[in-house]
Amino acid sequence: MTGPLERSIPAQARSRERLERILDAAARVFDEVGYEAATTEAIAEAAETSIGSVYRFFPNKKALFAALYTRYLEKVRALFDVVAADTDDSVPWEQVVGAMIDGFAAFHESEPGFRAVWLSLALTDQMIVEGEALNRQLAERLEPLFARRFPHLRPADRRVVATVAVEAVSAMLIFAARRGPPLGPAVLAQAKNLIIRYLAPYATTSSGSAAGAGKGARARRRSGKISVR
Amino acid sequence: MTGPLERSIPAQARSRERLERILDAAARVFDEVGYEAATTEAIAEAAETSIGSVYRFFPNKKALFAALYTRYLEKVRALFDVVAADTDDSVPWEQVVGAMIDGFAAFHESEPGFRAVWLSLALTDQMIVEGEALNRQLAERLEPLFARRFPHLRPADRRVVATVAVEAVSAMLIFAARRGPPLGPAVLAQAKNLIIRYLAPYATTSSGSAAGAGKGARARRRSGKISVR
Amino acid sequence: MTGPLERSIPAQARSRERLERILDAAARVFDEVGYEAATTEAIAEAAETSIGSVYRFFPNKKALFAALYTRYLEKVRALFDVVAADTDDSVPWEQVVGAMIDGFAAFHESEPGFRAVWLSLALTDQMIVEGEALNRQLAERLEPLFARRFPHLRPADRRVVATVAVEAVSAMLIFAARRGPPLGPAVLAQAKNLIIRYLAPYATTSSGSAAGAGKGARARRRSGKISVR
Amino acid sequence: MTGPLERSIPAQARSRERLERILDAAARVFDEVGYEAATTEAIAEAAETSIGSVYRFFPNKKALFAALYTRYLEKVRALFDVVAADTDDSVPWEQVVGAMIDGFAAFHESEPGFRAVWLSLALTDQMIVEGEALNRQLAERLEPLFARRFPHLRPADRRVVATVAVEAVSAMLIFAARRGPPLGPAVLAQAKNLIIRYLAPYATTSSGSAAGAGKGARARRRSGKISVR
DNA sequence: TATGAATGAGACTTCATTCAT
DNA sequence: GATGAATGAAGTCTCATTCAT
């Protein structure tokens, strides 16, 4: 009754494409006006579909947001893995940090909806939907890297320090996105300094750290033994 | 015109108290569910009044939020001035930074609604109400202090660096508030390290040079034992 | 307990005066915005009293309107009686009609609230409050005058013709009040022509009729025998 | 885009029908209680729809009223044109006036909501919505007819006289609608006399005037030179 | 399966009325 | 008696969701 098979494939393809369009539209609309102010109608329109089609894919508005969230989670993971992959330990850690921040900044710019998800998640915890929050995931994935690179960082503190780094960069990215030039980009440009200086005390070699060299680095190494509470 | 004075005072007092109750309730509700999801009805209920009373004081929901915002703006200014006041330049700058962060942390905890305002302001710029946004104000007030303390910070960069510091601390505070113990407080505890290390390169040799060296490192070692709260 | 008598008299006087102020204010406000849009608060304010005082005199908004209505009813009766009084039958009837219209026009201008009552009564019948509507009263009071002046008007038709005259003049007055110069006053100026020409066929030899004389009057006399449907 | 054509027609038809139902219901409700007292909920109920459907067609209550107004404006124009169309100048003008009044009376009876619009327009000028008010339109359309028929009416006075006629008839119609039998219809029946007698002095030939003949007409001619204002 | 008209719960807001002071 | 803050029913309007076509 559904017709020959070769028809069903394009049908599925069309369906898939429509789903993507809806997610993209949702990302755009959520980003522009926020979760609450975004109307399902506006999303459907932005996706050039009908409201009915939106509800064919998602049982309700929250589920639509959750799907968006999941999609970004995936993308962020991929992004992360790419940066982590082409990095062996010969690369100075500052460079890795820089690459990550750059990568995220690029991601932020190319995926405007990402910020919406990020912010909405920040706004209401009830919205934390599937699995963990994005930033938490990021921090977790950062830990093994830290383990290799920061011998002066006590294992127990890894999670905390990674979270600080992620949240701080996140804040700069959001700020940059909201506040346009010139202050926005200028602040974002400082993110690297902020993180590199923060992490420097935990690193072994001051492998060309932007934040200091020579004995100063050594000094920092020692003071890096923070006691979290 | 309203009758004997001794009568009018309690009347005003009651009115004043009710207004405070409404603002407090609004702070609570906004904090819990966010600006959009907060209903005026819920705020009235939380304030143990009728919806009509809420509208006696505020013409609409936005105005209620704006009043809340103004109230916090005032408090934050006061807080800032207190910290800045009892600080002469003999006090090591790291200590000043620490005091400020501690002050804000205390403020955050004692004023739950503050976070809501902060976040909502972050969410929609259209909501920026009276004068400047909170964080911007803070950054601006930080500048003269930076001018005195950080000779290696170029005047043109002051605003950017101050903004980075404010936004980063803001992010940690929000994170701490959302994520309960143990990670929340642990992250907040790191805020001092984050900011002090970030600013160190701009400071004089003093109690902690740019990247830190010699005795300065020792000083930091001590101050590194931060105790949040 | 209420104090000496000589105090109570000014008290009553003050009360009476306040009631008048409230009625005047109500007239003004009703006239400006209409019955529904008028708020009791606005009326109290216009009367320079408190809302509580308004409710001391009137149990509700409708009663306030009704009182206003009654007051105007009284005034209109008085006005009518004045015009009717200094008119003996030697005065040409056209002159009497003219005087009445002039009198009403003056009344309309001096009592702006009158129009409000008139219109509101026209708008919702539920509002007909005490006794009959104003215009009906007027028409009724016109009948004896018609009886003396219009011998060619059958007694059975008196009420109808009087009503037509009253309603037509009423319409012109309202139009004039709403539409400012130049059309408004111009239309009102025509009211006399309208009514005099309408009534002329019912009059006797036309005691100086502006609308015709001689045989024309006779012709009209015949056609004056209208058959009401 | 919406599927086969034969499907879309009933769909549109249903929509169209619903819109008509809403307008009809609005007419009824406005007529019964007036504009302000009419609730959108009541209108929806009267239209046997949901409040949401009302707002699908009209952005707000005022727009609903405006649409009603426009609809009647259209109908009134059509009615007018019909009457004017089958009237060449051989028809006695009194007959034309009579036909018009009869036409309007019929219209009033068949369209109960019309009165509501008419009255509400009379009540608040702020409500004058699209183009001109109804009565003004009528008066304007009457002018060319007057130009042909009433040579003794100075061009400058045409507008005023036409307005007087329209407003007077309007008043009779409203009165008739409000006051039931027997007075209502009786008054309306007099509208023709009222208008014909009013206009007679401006006409050339008393082409079978009900209000006079022969020399009487001449007399009236003279007095026809009214001075407006 | 796609469409979008229809639904109606619930949000914000107003204002007549009450009542403690 | 006067005052006006407080109350809350009721109105307008929005928008997530359903369902006939």
Closest Cα in chain A to B188: A164
Among A43-57, C82-96, C203-217, the minimum mean pLDDT is found in C203-217
pTM: 0.79
Q: Is the CB of B14 under 7 A from strand F?
A: yes
Q: Side chain identity at D215, as an amino acid letter?
A: K
Where would I find the H helices in chain D? 5-33, 40-46, 51-57, 61-85, 93-110, 112-123, 134-149, 155-178, 183-199, 215-223
Q: Where are the beta strands (DSSP E) in B60-206?
A: none
Token match 């701009």: residue? B202
- D125:C178 CB<8 A: yes
Is it the case that residue C69 has pLDDT exceeding 50? yes
Lowest-confidence pick of A11-25, B60-74, C194-208, D201-215: D201-215
- Say whether both D158 and D191 belong to one domain: yes
Size of interface C-D (CB pairs under 8 A): 143
> At A131, is the pLDDT very low, low, confident or very high (cuts 50, 70, 90)?
low
pLDDT of residue D122: 59
When computed from its CA atoms, the radius of gyration of chain A, rounded to whole angstroms, is 21
- CATH number of the domain that D15 lies in? 1.10.10.60
Q: Say if residue A90 is in the same domain as residue A188.
A: yes
CATH code (residue B136) = 1.10.357
User: Is strand F in 7 Å reach of the CB of B59?
Assistant: no
Touching D: which chains, 3+ CB pairs < 8 A? C
Task: Write the burial class of residue D10 (CB in 10 Å: 0-12 exposed, 13-18 middle, 19+ buried).
Answer: exposed
Tell whether B96 and B138 lie within a shared domain. Answer: yes
Q: Are A144 and A150 in contact (CB under 8 A)?
A: no
- Which of D16, D37, D59 finishes a domain? D59
Question: Between A and B, how many residue pairs show a Cβ–Cβ distance under 8 A?
Answer: 140
A43 with A22: CB under 8 angstroms?
A: yes
Q: Could you check: is the Cβ of residue A38 within 7 Å of any atom of nucleic acid strand F? A: yes
C201 near D CB under 8 A: yes
Domain that holds residue A36: 1-59
CB atoms within 10 A of CB C163: 25
Q: Is the pLDDT of residue B183 over 70?
A: yes
Tokens of C106: 């003056």
Residue D4: pLDDT above 70? no
Is A19 within the bounds of a domain? Answer: yes
**Is D229 inside a domain boundary?**
no
Q: Give the per-residue pLDDT at A1.
A: 46
Q: Based on the structure, what is the number of domains in chain D? A: 2
Average pLDDT over residues A76-103: 84
C168/D163 touch (CB, cutoff 8 Å), yes or no: no
Angle at D54 between CA D52 and CA D58, to 5 degrees: 115
B41 pLDDT exceeds 80?
yes
Q: Is the pLDDT of residue A67 over 60?
A: yes
Task: Give the pLDDT of residue B153.
Answer: 95
**What pLDDT does A229 receive?**
31
User: Could you tell me the two tokens for D191?
Assistant: 């509208």
Cβ-based neighbours of B118, under 8 Å, separated by 6 or more: B72, B134, B135, B170, B174
Q: Any chain A CB within 8 A of the CB of B171?
A: yes
Q: Mark whether A110 and A156 lie in a shared domain.
A: yes
Averaged pLDDT of chain A: 80
Q: Is the pLDDT of residue A98 over 70?
A: yes
Last residue of one domain, picked from the residues C59, C78, C95: C59
User: Are B125 and B147 part of one and the same domain?
Assistant: yes
Residues with Cβ within 8 Å of residue A81, at least 6 apart in sequence: none
Return the closest nucleotide (C1') to the Cα of C44: F4
- Nearest-neighbour CA in chain C from D87: distance (Å): 24
Identify the residue with better confidence: B136 or B222: B136
pLDDT digits (tens, 9 = 90+) for C182-224: 888 999 999 999 999 999 999 976 544 444 333 444 444 444 3
Give the residue from A29, A59, A89 where a domain finishes.
A59
Residues of chain B with pLDDT > 90, as a percent, come to 34
Most confident of C134-148, D11-25, D28-42: D28-42
The pLDDT, as a whole number, for residue D150 is 93
Smallest Cβ–Cβ distance between B171 and the set A124, A170, A198 belongs to A170
Tens-digit pLDDT profile for residues B68-93: 888 888 888 888 888 777 667 788 89
Closest-CA distance of chain B to residue A4, Å: 48
Q: Give the chain C residue nearest D174 (alpha carbons).
A: C122
Does residue B228 lie in a domain region? no
Q: How confident is the model at residue C225 (pLDDT cuts 50, 70, 90)?
A: very low
Q: What is the C-alpha radius of gyration for chain D, rounded to an integer number of angstroms?
A: 21
pLDDT for B135-157, tens place per residue?
888 888 888 889 989 999 999 99
For F20, nearest residue by CA–C1' is D11
C213 with D219: Cβ contact below 8 A:
yes
The DSSP string of D30-81 is HHHH-TTT--HHHHHHHTTS-HHHHHHH-SSHHHHHHHHHHHHHHHHHHHHH
Identify whether residues D12 and D106 lie together within a single domain: no
Q: Which residue has the tokens 């009194």?
A: D94
Do both A94 and A207 map to the same domain?
yes
Mean predicted confidence (pLDDT) in D189-216: 73
Is residue C198 within 8 A of residue D197, CB to CB? The reply is: yes
Round and report the angstrom distance from CA (C42) to C1' (F6).
18
* Selected residue with higher pLDDT from D205 and B128: D205
Of residues D37, D167, D210, nearest to C175 (C-beta): D167
Residue B122 has pLDDT above 70, yes or no: no
Residues from chain D contacting residue C182 (CB–CB below 8 Å): 229
Which of B153, B169, B194 best tests the A interface by mutation, with the highest count of A CBs <10 A?
B194
Residue C64 domain flag: no
Cβ neighbours of D114 (radius 10 Å): 24
In this predicted model, what pLDDT tens digit does every residue of B166-176 receive, in sequence order? Answer: 999 989 998 88
Interchain contact, D122 vs C174, CB within 8 Å: yes
Which residues in chain D touch residue C177, judged by CB atoms under 8 angstroms apart? none
| Domain identity same for D84 and D53 | no
pLDDT of residue D1: 42
| E strands in chain C | none
Contact status, residue D183 vs residue D173, Cβ threshold 8 Å: no
Task: Locate A179 and state its tokens.
Answer: 């506040």
D10 touches strand F (CB under 7 A): yes
**In this predicted structure, what is the pLDDT of residue C210?**
42
Task: Return d(Cα B89, Cα B77) in angstroms, integer.
Answer: 20
A95 C-beta less than 7 Å away from strand F: no
- Neighbour tally for B143: CB within 10 Å: 14
D228 domain residue, yes or no: no
Residue numbers of A between 107 and 136 with CB closer than 8 Å to B: 119, 122-126
Contact A21, A27 (CB under 8 A): no
- Sign of the CA dihedral with D161 first, then D164, D166, and D168 last: negative
Positions on chain E within 7 A of a protein C-beta:
1-21
- What does the alpha-carbon distance between residue D92 and residue D97 come to, in Å, rounded to a whole number? 9
Q: Are residues C89 and C156 in the same domain?
A: yes
Each residue of A137-167: pLDDT tens digit?
888 888 888 998 999 999 999 999 999 999 9
Q: Do D107 and D160 lie in a common domain? A: yes
The alpha-carbon gap from C189 to the nearest alpha carbon of chain D, in Å, equals 6
Q: Cβ neighbours of residue D56 under 8 Å, at least 6 residues apart?
A: none
Q: Any long-range contacts for B94-100 (C-beta under 8 Å, 24+ apart)? A: B94/B196, B94/B207, B94/B208, B94/B219, B94/B220, B94/B223, B95/B223, B96/B145, B96/B149, B97/B192, B97/B195, B97/B196, B97/B199, B98/B192, B98/B196, B98/B223, B98/B226
CB D135 within 8 Å of CB D163: yes
- In angstroms, how far is F13 C1' from D54 CA? 11
- CB contacts of A220 in chain B (<8 Å) are 197, 211-212, 217, 220
Query: Are D175 and D198 spatial neighbours (Cβ–Cβ below 8 Å)?
Result: no
Q: Which pLDDT value is given to residue D64?
A: 92
Which are the contacts of A188, defined by CB distance < 8 A and separation ≥ 6? A105, A172, A173, A175, A176
D148 in the same domain as D93: yes
Query: Using CA atoms, how far apart are residues D81 and D103, in angstroms rounded to an integer?
Result: 11
C48: Cα within 13 Å, side-chain hemisphere: 5
Greatest mean pLDDT among B132-136, B192-196, D35-39, D72-76 lies in B192-196
Which among D81, D19, D30 has a CA at the least distance from the CA of D55? D19
B225, B98 Cβ separation under 8 angstroms:
no
Position C27 in a domain: yes
User: Token match 């307990």: residue?
Assistant: C1
How distant is C1' of E11 from CA of B52, in Å? 15
Q: Tell me what percent of the residues of chain A surpass a pLDDT of 90.
A: 35
* B38: nt with nearest C1' to CA: E11
Q: pLDDT band at D53, cuts 50/70/90?
A: very high
Q: Is the pLDDT of residue A8 over 80?
A: no
Q: Is residue C229 part of a domain?
A: no
Residue B119 has what pLDDT? 72
Residues D197 and D85 in one domain: yes
Which one of A36, A174, A197, A215 makes the best mutation probe of the B interface by having the most chain B beta carbons within 10 Å? A197
- Evaluate whether residue B97 is within a structural domain: yes
pLDDT higher than 80, residue C53: yes
